[in-house]
Amino acid sequence: MVTIQSYPLAVLMCFVTMLCWGSWANTQKLATKEWKFQLFYWDYCIGVLLFTLILAVTMGSMGGGGRGFFADLGQASGKYLGFAFLGGVIFNIANILLVAAIDIVGMAVAFPVGIGLALVIGVITTYRVDPSGNATILFLGVGCVAIAIILDALAYRKLSSQGQKTTLKGMVLSVLCGVLMGFFYRWVADSMPANLADLALPAEAGKLTPYTALVLFALGLFASNFIFNTIVMAKPFVGEPVPLTDYFKKGNPRLHMVGILGGIIWSVGMSFSILAGDSAGYAISYGLGQGATMIAAFWGVFIWKEFKTAPAGTNKLLALMFIFFIVGLTLIITARSG
């Protein structure tokens, strides 16, 4: 399998993760102009699974860095397969809450609140599994991100006071998403050794390569979607129930491709984050990748104009939010060498 040994390359891959995780929801914004987010989400899940399978049979099965995908799958312990699968299930619940929140309050609110909170929780829980880097610098970075979340919430409060389509329900969904999203990554990280060079050690027997872990994660996401997304279709957070038959009646090749593209974009980010984790440390890899909050907020504020009718003073809060996110991400990057 192909492995990443260079820290600068790992950081670059984390930046790609940040761009992908912060941009995939644009496909939701495009698709949901024509149909419900629940229908978009089926194609999104297909895209995630499709990309991880392609990656596993290509990069995960070539090179001299360790076991190939099929060999690794054959030796894998049920316990660690279950860890990666569970990570996909937890992520799916959180992400359904996220796409629902985006549908209600927009990217510029749902991402900073939901994914920003996930960053704070995720870095802490993942650091307990893989304590890489300088803890003081790392958690100072996390603190800056937490301040950015508060600033975004204050900006949201100003917007909602002007009678925009922002509701308490959307904010609650964002918070619930963040709490759950903060725990999925640690299960995936725990299914793999902290250092891929340790795969051959007896103590690490049964653990997975990143490529195998990604496939099991995607399977957990896809399989659980038949439960959780079906429930949200029958009992949506807002609006009328969404019949499954609409997926076939209202869908067209372009709409399906937009959803699949969204899943692929997110999956590229997840894959790069996991592959970079061996060199950068999973806590730092996850934390930097979740800088997607800043990217998504940029899309929401400047491209989709979600705050265009906000009252005076809102722009200052948004500017401070971006500043604290940037400072926080910089500290997370430098934590590795601290």
Residue 51, domain member (yes or no): yes
DSSP tally for the chain: helices H, then strands E: 15, 0
CA dist., res. 82 & res. 62, Å (int): 25
Residue 213, domain member (yes or no): yes
Per-residue pLDDT of 101-158, as tens digits, reads 998 888 888 888 888 888 788 778 778 777 877 889 988 988 998 898 888 878 877 7
Residue 292, domain member (yes or no): yes
| 141 residue type, one letter | G
Angle between helix axes 210-234 and 78-105 (nearest 10 degrees) is: 50
Burial class (CB in 10 A: 0-12, 13-18, 19+), 244: middle
87-177-222-242 Cα dihedral, nearest 10 degrees: 160
Residue 276, domain member (yes or no): yes
Beta carbons within 8 Å of 202's beta carbon, 6+ residues apart: none
pTM assigned to the model: 0.85
Residue 2, domain member (yes or no): no
Number of domains in the chain: 1
Residue 1, domain member (yes or no): no
Residue 116, domain member (yes or no): yes
- Structural domain range at position 332: 7-337
Please give the chain's pLDDT, 338 residues, in tens: 898 888 889 889 988 998 999 899 999 999 998 999 999 999 999 999 999 999 999 999 987 767 899 999 999 999 999 999 999 999 999 999 999 999 888 888 888 888 888 878 877 877 877 787 788 998 898 899 889 888 887 887 776 554 444 467 888 899 999 999 988 988 998 999 877 767 767 668 899 999 999 999 999 999 999 999 999 999 999 889 999 999 999 999 999 999 999 999 999 999 999 998 878 777 778 777 777 877 888 898 888 887 887 788 888 999 999 999 889 878 887 886 55
